[in-house]
Amino acid sequence: MEDEEYLAKAKERIISSLIKHKFLKSNRAIKAFEKVPREEFVLPQYRSNAYSDTPLPILESQTISACHMCIIMVEEDCLDPQPGDRTLEIGAGSGYHAALLAEMIAPEGCENPGHVWTVEIHKSLVEFARANLERAGYSDRVTVIHGDGSKGYPPEAPYDRIMVTAAAPDIPEPLKEQLKVGGRLVIPVGAPHLWQELTLVIKKRDGSLKAKKLGGVAFVPLRGKHGFK
Ligand code: SAH
């Protein structure tokens, strides 16, 4: 009980701070952040730090991104996921970011719910993400796939939204191909472990891509065929 009260207060505090610092802006993102229990997606030893605004270690030396970074990526001026969207995430990790997406593309009571497919290269993290998503009540809206997400996930393509939560040397060609016309893709592009540019890509009506740089970020590297070797 004490634990629950502590977490509820910590969550309230971080929400106020994220709003004050203009990370959380839209009602839809605020609602999604309020709904998802981040404490169910961190390792048990970090439970009390679930609402500290820092990345936290998960398995395989990977990390769950800081709260503000998770929000930057899903806000209206970035990925902007809509109810009903078919959404692909690369890098399931803990499953937390996929749950945030699920709240935005398939909120409770939504008549036309979308779906999230999230690809993870490490088997242990596939199991971690699946267990977390199931416990938190998202397994109907999120499917975790074991594989190399740098190749996308062709069986369910094309997608309205694609979000890559690992740093890539460039935008993988298969992801460009698997994006619908009018669709949005967000991906950190740059050097492994150091500094990358968060890049938003919009596929225009004629199929061409318009890229916009949104600022510097630091993500773990994307591995696999179109990632870092
Ligand atoms: N979105 C996650 C955190 C991502 S950390 C969360 O909410 O917790 C980046 C993740 O990308 C790691 O779990 C890493 O194992 C995974 N990854 C790296 N290269 C990958 C690839 N080629 N395909 C799929 N997953 C990959």
Q: CB burial class (10 A; 0-12, 13-18, 19+) of residue 219?
A: buried
Q: Which CATH superfamily is domain 2-217 in?
A: Vaccinia Virus protein VP39 (3.40.50.150)
- Has residue 89 got a pLDDT over 60? yes
Q: CB burial class (10 A; 0-12, 13-18, 19+) of residue 116?
A: buried
Q: What is the pLDDT of residue 194?
A: 80
Q: What is the pLDDT of residues 11-39, one digit of tens each?
A: 999 999 999 999 999 999 999 999 999 99
Q: Which residue has the tokens 């510097």?
A: 216
pLDDT > 70 in the chain, percent: 99
Residues in the chain: 229
State the closest ligand 1 atom to the C-alpha of 91, by its place in the atom list counted from 1. 11
Known catalytic residues are 65
Q: What is the pLDDT of residues 98-126, one digit of tens each?
A: 999 999 999 989 999 999 999 999 999 99
In this structure, the residues whose C-beta lies within 6 A of any atom of ligand 1 are 60, 62-65, 90-91, 93-94, 96-97, 119-122, 125, 148-150, 165-166, 220, 222-224, 227
State the closest ligand 1 atom to the C-alpha of 119, by its place in the atom list counted from 1. 24
Q: What is the pLDDT of residues 187-223, one digit of tens each?
A: 999 998 789 999 999 999 999 999 999 999 999 999 9
- Domain-wise residue ranges, the chain: 2-217
Instruction: Please tell me the pTM assigned to this model.
Output: 0.97
